[in-house]
Structure 1
Amino acid sequence: MSGLEDEIKEIEDELQRTVYNKATSKHIGRLKAKLAKIRDEAVQRAMKSAGSGEGYSVKKSGDGTVVLVGFPSVGKSTLLNQLTGQESEVAAYAFTTLTVVPGILEHKGAKIQILDIPGLIAGAAMGKGRGKEVIAVVRSADLILILGDVYNGRHVDVLMRELYDAGIRINKPKPDITIKKSGNGGIRLNYVGDEALDIEEVRSILAENKIMNADVLIRGNVSQDDFIDAMIGNRVYIPAFIAINKVDLVDAKTRAEIEGELTERFGEKPYMISAHSGYNVDTLKDGIYEHLGFMRVYMKPLGGPADMEEPLIVRSDSTIEDVCRRLHRDFVDKFRYAKIWGKSVKHDAQRVGLQHKLKDRDIVTIVTRF
């Protein structure tokens, strides 16, 4: 793998030396595309490699799945125990967790699966340690909780880099780019919105993947990196946030310095917690719920009282159709109308259709054909 790493570093060094401008954009695009292809091939080989033990098989359950990502010994197992009551083995040495340990956090009516995975190390994306198994679990998550501690919290960018190299894009929407290969005609580029990339940049990037004929449609403002991700085609886009553990072991000044540095670098305040003492863990539970984008919908049978004890947990952009599909596969086909009580309507018991967007704590009655 050393030869491959040398090749990657050589391209990275050339990219750093090259100043981006109109004249160099085509060359930089080609270098970035080449680098992405080499990294992706290395990661795919690592993910498929044999002889390093069985992979981790985790059945997803609950309303959403959160994976705890961090260096060894930052307290992931202790945090899992605090969040869920699950007895994950805890010890004061690295790599206590050698497999994936699941637990369920019940919060605001939601059942959230929390996965404690072995600690990531530098080079995990390339298969070092149990990197390939761990990365496979992370790629299937609905939310990533990046956990550092007060001794290495300033280095969470190493974790970010490992996730990026493994094709995981954090806290960014999937770019709206369509690339349809064709048999002839060269590269045909169409835009909806601003033209952020010119045809030469697009051609040079596609050429690195041996695509010489294609219809390309780009919606919105995209970068070269976005276009390369679309060309590679196996990227996943997952929300994430940062928590810093063991804050009870340092003074208030050090704690504030770490919080300020991470806020400035990543644009969002980290959750400062102590998994051992439980400090701020309830606030962290709220953060998990909010970052998953959940809201509560209470179901009311026709002519009966609403069930205010057990809400239906749905995503914040859900419609009546989404609720129908969660309840029963026949509800959409047999749907007549729904009645809503809550913030999403102008008056109580308002009739709405399948595309009506709901808001948190709406009460819903679904009326179907018998």
Structure 2
Amino acid sequence: MILSPTATEYHLGVLKAKLAKYRSQLLEPTGKKGEKGEGFDVMKSGDARVALIGFPSVGKSTLLSTLTNTESVAANYEFTTLTCIPGVIEYKGANIQLLDLPGIIEGASQGKGRGRQVIAVARTADLVLMMSCTGYCRGAHGRLGPDDVVYRLLPWRIYFKQKKMGGLKFNATLPLTKMDERMVQMILHEYKIFNAEVIFREDCGADELIDVISGNRVYMNCLYVYNKVDQISIEEIDRIAHQPNCIVVSCNMKLNLDYLLERLWESLAMLRIYTKKPGSPPDFGDPIIMRGGSTVEHVCHAIHRSIVAVFKYALVWGTSTKFNPQRVGLHHVAHDEDVIQIVTKK
């Protein structure tokens, strides 16, 4: 069932598409210098990368210094951090790279406050920690808009593929209340797209469809970290802490940082895989760090790429199996703290 939008909603959808298109044209650099996406020169390292984004003076540098062995200058004045400072969080056998980025302000997408560089680096991260502090006065910084921080909690829920012919093929896997085929067609026409396949897997609106068509939005995991909770009431702490994907901490008093690390680990969907040689106990001292959804084949590649060519089967102990040990193939999906023994062809 698809509920048709009103005439006003059709009009608003088309206007949003026009605004998004014109805004992209205005913000697109015209010269050879200052191209968008030119980030700080920070080499990616470790098992995952996490970017700290937030207003100036919310405690990003203090958090980096507390969670890692890296000292980032923290002071009682704004814009203390003027470049990207990397640190490494050692947690559960994994090395997680944490990036302390300069404070972001309104107009960052146009380059204010080195905003383009901040966004370019954050796009390369596996997770964004959006950091603020309770009762923070935004003052002259204004507020962040959707073009200043391009990270949203929603994953991709719209399939879009432009084609050379065939017109519009539109479908939805659930009832839609904000969109229908006519509105999709009107928005696509604003981008001079007349042949495409569009499938809605969530009840999304015009904004989400425009993001997909524009291709200039990065959908990624995000956690909202509220600092300085020692300065507010317990009732306010409770209210913030129960918001989705929100974590309350105090960097100066080191409150709730253990929980922050645990949520960080869960959001990154990291796995610890232990290996075992025939006739020997598992090596619990040096886990192989993988990402969620990894298979036995991925584990083989992590050990050595030549193993897959001589792979026969694997014995697995852990929560991914029905019994221990279980004989599995390359496509078996591993779970956290599984023990894997690779058996090769003779």
1:154–1:258 CA contact under 8 A, matched in 2: no
Match of 2:297 among 292, 308, 321: 321
Residue 69 of structure 1: CA displacement? Answer: 0.9
Q: Distance in 2 between matches of 1:327 and 1:36?
A: 46
**1:84-99 pair list within 5 angstroms:** 84-99=68-83
User: CA, structure 1 residues 132+286, in 2 after alignment: closer, same or farther (shift >3 Å)?
Assistant: same
1:298–1:306 CA contact under 8 A, matched in 2: yes
| Range 141-150 or range 218-227, more displaced | 218-227
Match in the other structure for 2:191: 209
2:17 paired with 1:38:
no
2:174 paired with 1:194:
yes
Residue 98 of structure 1: CA displacement? Answer: 0.6
Letter in 2 for 1:194: L
2:272–2:289 CA contact under 8 A, matched in 1: yes
| Range 215-224 or range 137-146, more displaced | 215-224
Letter in 2 for 1:215: A
2:237–2:248 CA contact under 8 A, matched in 1: no
2:102 paired with 1:121:
no
Q: Distance in 1 between matches of 2:66 and 2:31?
A: 32
**1:1-370 pair list within 5 angstroms:** 21-45=5-29, 50=34, 55-152=39-136, 161-162=144-145, 164-166=146-148, 168-182=150-164, 184-185=165-166, 187-191=167-171, 193-194=173-174, 196=176, 197-212=179-194, 214-223=195-204, 224-248=206-230, 250-251=231-232, 253=233, 255-257=234-236, 259-260=238-239, 262=240, 266-268=243-245, 270-369=246-345
Q: Distance in 2 between matches of 1:167 and 1:202?
A: 25
SS in 1 for 2:112: coil
SS in 1 for 2:53: strand
Residue 352 of structure 1: CA displacement? Answer: 0.6
| Range 103-112 or range 296-305, more displaced | 296-305
Letter in 1 for 2:298: D
Aligned length: 337
2:315–2:342 CA contact under 8 A, matched in 1: yes
Residue-by-residue CA offset, 1:170-223 (whole Å, 9 max, x unaligned): 2222124132231x55x32142523634322121111111112x1314152352
Query: Which residues of structure 2 form unaligned runs of 5+?
Result: none
Query: Which residues of structure 1 form unaligned runs of 5+?
Result: 1-19
What TM-score results when the alignment is normalised by the length of structure 1? Answer: 0.82
Higher helix proportion: 1
2:87–2:98 CA contact under 8 A, matched in 1: yes
Identity level (%): 42
Q: Distance in 1 between matches of 2:55 and 2:200?
A: 38
Superposition CA RMSD, Å: 2.7
1:43–1:166 CA contact under 8 A, matched in 2: no
